[in-house]
Structure 1
Amino acid sequence: MFEEDSENEVEDEDEEEEEEEDDFVDMGMDAEASGTHPKHDEEDFPFQVLTADEIVKHMVDCIKEVNTVVQIPATITRILLTHFKWDKEKLMECYFTEDQDKLFSDAHVVSPFRKSFTPAAAAQAASSSEIMCEICFLMIPPTELTGLECGHRFCWQCWREYLTTKIIDEGMGQTISCAAHGCDILVDDQTVMYLVTDPKVKLKYQQLITNSFVECNRLLRWCPRPDCGHVVKAQYYDCKPVKCKCTHIFCFACGENWHDPALCRLLRRWIKKCDDDSETSNWIAANTKECPKCHATIEKDGGCNHMVCKRCKLDFCWVCLGDWEPHGSSWYNCNRFDEEGAKKARDAQEKSRHALQRYLFYCNRYMNHMQSLKFENKLYASVRVKMEEMQHHNMSWIEVQFLKKAVDVLCQCRQTLMYTYVFAFYLHRNNQSIIFEENQKDLENATEQLSEYLERDITSDMLVDIKQKVQDKYRYCESRRKVLLDHVHEGYEKELWEYQDGN
C-alpha cells in the first residue's frame, strides 16, 4: 500500500474570515437522493474538506480498520473494499456470512488462504537453469521471473512495460489484471509499487488509486473546480450545498453548482437536453417529413414536389405523400384538401414547433441569468475599488461592507433565478405553479434593480443615499428569494409539484 505522510496540514494561510470554521461546516439542503426533497439552506449538514494527502491517509485508515477484523493482506483488503465500493460493513458481512472462495473470486483475487504456486512447481522452476518468458519469449533465469498468486510468471522488464502501459497510456489503476492472456486476477498495490521503478509512473498510479477511492465512496466527492484537488467528506449522503476551501460551492450529491430549487435529476435532464442534439430533432420534426414507406426523415431542398427516398427509392409527392406515378392522371386529385389528414399533419407540426418555442423560452432566460451571473461576479473588483474610495471619505471598513454583501446577495439571486427556469421547464401548470411564477417575477424585478444600483458610479456626494437604497434593496432581494425557495420546498414536502415530460 502507499506510504503515509507523517503530517498532513490543512492550508489556512489564504483563507478569508468567513472560511475560518470548525472541521465540520454547517450549510445544507435535503435531497431527493435519500428519498426527500431539497429543504432550507440554513439546515445543518456536517462535512469536512480534505487535501489529497489527507484522503490517502483516510484510505489507509479504512484499510487498517477492516484488517483488524478480517486479518488478510492490506493489498487484498484494498481490492475487496473497491469491489464493495468502500462499504466496510457490507464487506465484513459478506466475508463472515458467505462463501469466502466465491467472494475472492468475484473480486478477482486469489484467496490468501490457498497458494496456487505449489511446492512441486517451485521445485521444477528451481531445477531449471532458464525459463521462457511467455511475453517476450526470451529464456530467463528463474530468479528474474516474478508474478502473482495465480502462478503466471514473466520477466521483470515485461511486467514493467505492461504496467507502465496500463497506468500511463490507458489510465488504469484498480482494474489492472494479470499480464497472462485470459487471467482476470488483479495486480495488487504492493506488486505494482515493487515492479514499477519510474517515479512518474508510481505517482500516476497512486493518483489513480486515490481517485478511484473517492469516486467509489459515496461519502466523498472531489471539488469540481479545475485544479482544486480538495475532497469533501460528508457524514452522510445528501443533496446539499458544500463549500470547498477554494470557496467554490457545489451540490454534494451531483457535483454541479448549487442548483436550488431544481432537483438533481431535473438538472441532469436539462443539461443533457442542452448538450445533445434533441433540439435539432425538434427542428427536423417541424421542417421535414417522413418517407411514407420506410419513415426516413427527408428535407425538401428544391422546388420540385417529386421526392425519391434515398433509402428505399420510393417515388412520392411532397405535398400529399401519395405515390408519384398517378399524379399525371386526370382522375388523381392531389389538389383536393384532405381535412382529417391535414389536421393531423398540422397538429403534429404545431406541437413540434410549440415544444421548440417553449424550450427556447426557458433556455434563453436560463442562459441570460447565467451570463448575468458571470458579469455580476466581475462586480467584486469594481466594488472593492468603491469600498476603498468610501474609506477615504471618512467611512470605516465595517461601514463599507454593505457593498460586498450586496454583490453576494446579487450573485445568490442570479444563481437561484437561473435554476428556477430549469425547475419551471419541467413543471406541470397548476395553481401552485402560478404562485411560483409570481414569486419568480418579484425576485427577478428586485434583482435587476439591485444590479442597477451596484453598476452606478457612486460618488462621495451620494454615499449616504445610495447606501440606504442598496441595503434596502438587497434585504428585499433576500426576503423574496427566501419566499420563493420556501414555497418550492413546501411544495416538495407536501408533494404539490407535478412534472411534465419535457424530454
Structure 2
Amino acid sequence: MSSDDEIYMDSESEEEQEEEVEDQILDEKGLRADMKQQIAEIQSTVEVSEGVGRLLLQKHKWNKDSLTDKFYESPDRITFLIESNVHPKECVPVETGEGDCDICCETTELVGLSCNHRCCKECWNSYLTEKIKEGQSEIECMDSRCKLLLDDEKVEEFLTDSSIIATFHRLILNKYVSSNVFLKWCPGVDCGKAVKSTHCDPHLVTCTCGTGFCFYCTNEWHDPVNCHHMRLWMKKCGENAETATWIINNTKDCPKCLAQIEKNGGCNYIRCTNPACGYQFCWICMNSWSVHAQAWYNCSSFDQAAESNREKYRTNLDRYIFYYNRYRGHQQSLKLESKLIRKVEKKMDKMQEKGMSFSDVQCLRHAVDVLSVCRQTMMLTYVFAYYLDKNNHSLIFEANQKDLEMATEQLSGFLERELEDEDLTTLKQSVQDKSRYVEHRRKRLLDHCADGNEQNHWVFIE
C-alpha cells in the first residue's frame, strides 16, 4: 500500500465531514408561497390585511420576531399601525363623493386613503404607475406631507394596466428577497431562482441550475478567502491586473498625490497631470521643481528617506504582482479545463482499446474533477496569502500551500502523459493515489485556514 493510500484511508470524505446546510431552492411560485406564509403568520397576530402585513414585514426586513416585539411593546394596536405609517380601515372613515381634483382640476369622483387626501382615479393611476416604473414597492400617499403607505390592495384598486400590476408584484418579490438576510437570488444567468438558508453566514450554495456561489456575498465560492478580502482583491485586479507591470517599467509616481506619470519628452521638468494636483517636480530627484532649481547639486545626491518611500510603494506593487501571477496561472488553467477533459476522454478510449474496462478508466475522469477543484482552491490561497501577515501560523499555511501546489501539478502531469510505453495499470494506480492525496492535502489546508479563523490566529493586512 502506498503512503498516499495510508494518508487517505482513515480520513472521511470531505462531503461527509462538511457541516450539512439546509438550503431551499425556490422558484417564483415557491417564493410567493413562502412570502404569503410569513405574511399569514403576522396577519393572525396584528389583525391586518395581507397588503398591510406585507408592508409591516418589509419595514422590519422580514424579521417576524422584531415586528412582534415592537407590536407588543406598543400601547395598543392602533398606535402601532399609525407609527408604522399604515392605517387600519377602522381608524378613520374615508370620505367619498365628487369634487375638484387638486392634480388635474377636473370635477369628478374623488378617491383616497384613510388620511383623506383625495384625487381622481386617473391621477392616482398616473401617480402609482410612475412610482412603480421608478422601482418602488412601498408607495406613500400622493400628498408630499403625508407618509401614509398604500397597502397592496389599494394600489391594485387604483391601477388600470395589468402589465403595471404585474410589474408591481415583481417589485414586491424582488424586495422580499433583497431585504431578507436569509434569501439570495442565484447569480446564474437567466436562472430566476432564489436560495433560502437557515443562516446567513458565508457558505457554499449550489443552485439547481448548477451555479455554485457564496450565500453571503453571492460571488463565486471563495474559501478560504473571506468576503471582504475577496471584494478588495477583485477591485484591485480590475484596477491593476493589465497595467501593473507596465507601470513599474515605464512610470514614476507624483511625489505629492502618487498619480502614475509617464515621461514623454527629454526634459526632466514634470508637471503632474492630475487636475487636482498639478505638482511640479524633477523626474530625476523627484523633488519640487522650485527647490530643485535653487539647489541643482541635490539632484545628484542620494536621499535615503525619499527613496525608501518610493521603494516601499514599488515593493507593494511587486508583492501584488507576485501573488496575482500565481492566482492568474491557476485561473488560466481552469479555463483550459474543457480541453483537458477532451484529452483525457481520448486517453480513456485508448486505454479501453488496450484491454482496460470502462470502470477502470473512470479514475482519470474523476481526477480531472479533483484537479479542477484543487486549482480553484490554489487560486484562492494566493488571495488569502496576499492579505495575510507573517507569523508562525502563516508559515504553516505556506507549507500546506506548497504541498498542495506540488501535488496538484504532479496530478496534472499524470493526466497530461502520453500512453506510449506506459504501464497502464501503474498509471491508473498513480492517478488514483495522487487524486486521493491531493484531496487530502486540500482538506488539510482548508481545515487549517478555518481553525485559524476560529482561534484568531490570522493577522490580515489591507
TM-score, with length taken from structure 2: 0.83
The SS at the match of 2:336 is: helix
| Contact map agreement 1:156 1:195 (CA 8 A) in 2 | yes
* Deviation string, structure 1 residues 336-363 (Cα, Å, up to 9, x no partner): 46868x2121011111111111111112
Counterpart among 55, 64, 68 of residue 92 in structure 1: 68
Matched, 1:198 2:161: yes
- Which residue does the alignment assign to 2:112? 147
Counterpart among 223, 232, 239 of residue 202 in structure 2: 239
Question: How far off is 1:53 after superposition?
Answer: 0.8
The SS at the match of 1:163 is: helix
- Identical columns (%): 40
The SS at the match of 1:335 is: helix
Matched, 1:474 2:450: no
Q: What is the identity, as a one-letter code, of the residue corresponding to 1:495?
A: N
Counterpart among 148, 167, 171 of residue 135 in structure 2: 171
Question: Residues of 1 paired with 2:37 and 2:276: CA distance?
Answer: 62
Q: What is the identity, as a one-letter code, of the residue corresponding to 1:253?
A: Y
- Which residue does the alignment assign to 1:160? 125
Distance 1:201 1:374, change over 3 A: farther
Counterpart among 304, 314, 320 of residue 267 in structure 2: 304
Question: How far off is 1:474 after superposition?
Answer: 1.0
| Contact map agreement 2:254 2:279 (CA 8 A) in 1 | no
Counterpart among 367, 371, 375 of residue 328 in structure 2: 367
Counterpart among 287, 309, 332 of residue 321 in structure 1: 287
- Which residue does the alignment assign to 2:395? 434
Matched, 1:132 2:104: no
Question: How far off is 1:276 after superposition?
Answer: 4.5
Distance 1:308 1:449, change over 3 A: closer
| Contact map agreement 2:52 2:86 (CA 8 A) in 1 | yes
| Contact map agreement 2:388 2:458 (CA 8 A) in 1 | yes
| Contact map agreement 1:286 1:350 (CA 8 A) in 2 | no
| Contact map agreement 2:48 2:88 (CA 8 A) in 1 | no
| Contact map agreement 1:377 1:411 (CA 8 A) in 2 | no
Distance 1:306 1:233, change over 3 A: closer
Matches within 5 A, 1:450-489: 450-456=411-417, 463-489=424-450
Question: Residues of 2 paired with 1:193 and 1:460: CA distance?
Answer: 76
The SS at the match of 2:296 is: coil
Distance 1:182 1:273, change over 3 A: farther
Distance 1:254 1:378, change over 3 A: farther
Question: How far off is 1:495 after superposition?
Answer: 2.1
Q: What is the identity, as a one-letter code, of the residue corresponding to 2:102?
A: E
Question: Residues of 2 paired with 1:199 and 1:392: CA distance?
Answer: 64
Question: Residues of 1 paired with 2:454 and 2:265: CA distance?
Answer: 56
| Contact map agreement 1:409 1:474 (CA 8 A) in 2 | yes
Question: How far off is 1:116 after superposition?
Answer: 6.5
Distance 1:433 1:62, change over 3 A: same
Question: Residues of 2 paired with 1:297 and 1:84: CA distance?
Answer: 45
Question: How far off is 1:456 after superposition?
Answer: 4.8
The SS at the match of 2:413 is: helix
Question: How far off is 1:69 after superposition?
Answer: 1.1
Question: Residues of 1 paired with 2:362 and 2:292: CA distance?
Answer: 81
| Contact map agreement 1:27 1:46 (CA 8 A) in 2 | no
Q: Please provide the CA RMSD for this pair.
A: 3.6
| Contact map agreement 1:219 1:237 (CA 8 A) in 2 | yes
Distance 1:321 1:279, change over 3 A: farther
Give 5+ residue unaligned stretches, structure 1. Answer: 1-25, 29-39
TM-score, with length taken from structure 1: 0.77
Counterpart among 296, 305, 321 of residue 334 in structure 1: 296
Give 5+ residue unaligned stretches, structure 2. Answer: 1-12
Question: Residues of 2 paired with 1:116 and 1:460: CA distance?
Answer: 93
* Deviation string, structure 1 residues 63-110 (Cα, Å, up to 9, x no partner): 001111111122111111011110001101101103566754564333
Matched, 1:186 2:152: no
Question: How far off is 1:193 after superposition?
Answer: 2.6
Question: Residues of 2 paired with 1:59 and 1:27: CA distance?
Answer: 35
Counterpart among 145, 164, 180 of residue 217 in structure 1: 180
Q: What is the identity, as a one-letter code, of the residue corresponding to 1:92?
A: T
Counterpart among 385, 400, 415 of residue 424 in structure 1: 385
